[in-house]
Amino acid sequence: MKVLLTGGAGYIGSTTAKALEQAGHTPVVLDSLLTGPRAFVRDRIFYEGDIADRDLLARVVDEHPDIEATIHMAARIVVPESVEKPYEYYRDNVAKSLELFDDLLALDKPRVLFSSSASLYAMKPGFEVTEQDPLDPPSPYARTKRMMETVLEDMAAATDLRAIILRYFNPIGSDPDLESGIYAREPSHVLGQLVMAAQGQKDAFTITGTQHPTRDGTGIRDYIHIWDLAQAHVRAIEVFDEVLAKVDAPSTVINVGTGAGVTVRELVASFERVFGQDVPITEAPPRPGDAVGAFANVDKASAVLGWTAALTIDDAIASALAWGRKRKEILGYA
Ligand SMILES: NC(=O)c1ccc[n+]([C@@H]2O[C@H](COP(=O)([O-])OP(=O)(O)OC[C@H]3O[C@@H](n4cnc5c(N)ncnc54)[C@H](O)[C@@H]3O)[C@@H](O)[C@H]2O)c1
């Protein structure tokens, strides 16, 4: 199956491209290289450009009329930056995605798999969230994701567009062959920070927020191995029409996580076990907007998609560490 993959030069996109290939499918990558590195595209079919460029999209479809679905991952994704630059986030994530969806419809390419986020969920006692739980997106970034979910739901109800919305929990790790992974120079997310502290690139790992209402006071997340997340896309593409038939709706939302909640202290303990050494730790108050967190109820992913996560958090940590040692070769910076 040929699949249009926007954002295919990014962290999740490049790994998903590989998973698609290994399952016998062909990704057609569309990416502006706004952030994703050229090296992650490798030798794949690649169009460098913007998702809202209608001429380019027409050319892509003209040259690949056999594209059967689109995975729409291209987006700006940095939460603090979205607070500082809301215009750029709403323009790129909302206005441009809207153009893309309308364009796909006009080009008779109605199947869309959309990258949404678990950061939409409101805080819930017990922290396990189902797709029906209340939402309270805390940042402009998260609000762009919620807006596009709504747009997809409304367009699917009114037109031939069909949408599966995947709410990703917290992807970590790298692809199994260490050809792509986290590429930010200073990764802001927790595992990237741990790898930097472990490699001596920073003095200590800071736990931000130790008074949360969780079992040890630190934030809780559902860390999913990026390779598992990539497999969820392969599966969703393969059974796209069956999924919507099962739910009897033109669009649907599915949580993609492991189903296990892990606190920051528990993540640090796992990390030290895999790394084989203690990591220097400091503690600080939560940063503005820091969420207590959530973990996925994965009943729907299992029932409707026939997919569950297979890899462990230790696997993900080991692959993140291995990527941390390897990435200079691919990116040119450590
Ligand atoms: N990384 C996470 O923790 C996480 C969690 C939940 C959801 N998501 C979503 O998953 C998707 C992929 O995330 P990622 O971590 O791989 O991010 P990423 O920044 O590595 O990848 C995004 C890619 O989109 C490209 N891009 C951005 N704007 C574009 C445009 N207008 N036209 C064409 N290409 C454009 C970038 O160059 C980049 O390669 C995003 O939609 C993100 O919101 C990510």
Mean pLDDT by 10 residues, the chain (334 residues): 98 98 98 98 98 98 98 96 96 98 98 98 96 96 98 98 98 95 88 88 93 96 98 98 98 98 97 94 87 96 98 96 92 90
Q: Whose CA is nearest to atom 19 of ligand 1?
A: 10
**CA of 50 relative to ligand 1 center, distance in Å:** 13
Q: Whose CA is nearest to atom 21 of ligand 1?
A: 10
- For ligand 1, whether the C-beta of 117 sits within 6 Å is yes
Helix ranges restricted to H, the chain: 11-22, 54-63, 79-84, 86-89, 96-106, 140-158, 190-198, 226-238, 240-247, 264-275, 299-300, 313-331
Contacts of 91 (CB under 8 A, 6+ apart): none
Q: 47, 90, 141, 168: which one is catalytic? A: 141
- For ligand 1, whether the C-beta of 122 sits within 6 Å is no
Contacts of 125 (CB under 8 A, 6+ apart): none
Atom from ligand 1 closest to the CA of residue 183: 20
- For ligand 1, whether the C-beta of 13 sits within 6 Å is yes
Task: Determine contact, residues 3/67, Cβ cutoff 8 Å.
Answer: yes
Provide the CA 124 distance to its chain's centre, in angstroms.
22
Distances (CA, A) of 180 to 12, 57, 88, 227: 9, 26, 26, 11
Best of 4, 6, 12 for a ligand 1 pocket test (most atoms within 8 Å of beta carbon): 12
Quote the pLDDT of residue 141.
96
Quote the pLDDT of residue 195.
87
Task: Determine contact, residues 317/270, Cβ cutoff 8 Å.
Answer: yes
Task: Determine contact, residues 104/30, Cβ cutoff 8 Å.
Answer: no
Active site residue 141: yes
Quote the pLDDT of residue 155.
98
Instruction: Say how far apart CA 261 and CA 220 lie, in whole Å.
Output: 6
Quote the pLDDT of residue 291.
86
Compute the Cα dihedral for 137, 166, 222, 302 and give only its sign. positive
Quote the pLDDT of residue 9.
98
Q: Whose CA is nearest to atom 1 of ligand 1?
A: 171
- For ligand 1, whether the C-beta of 172 sits within 6 Å is no
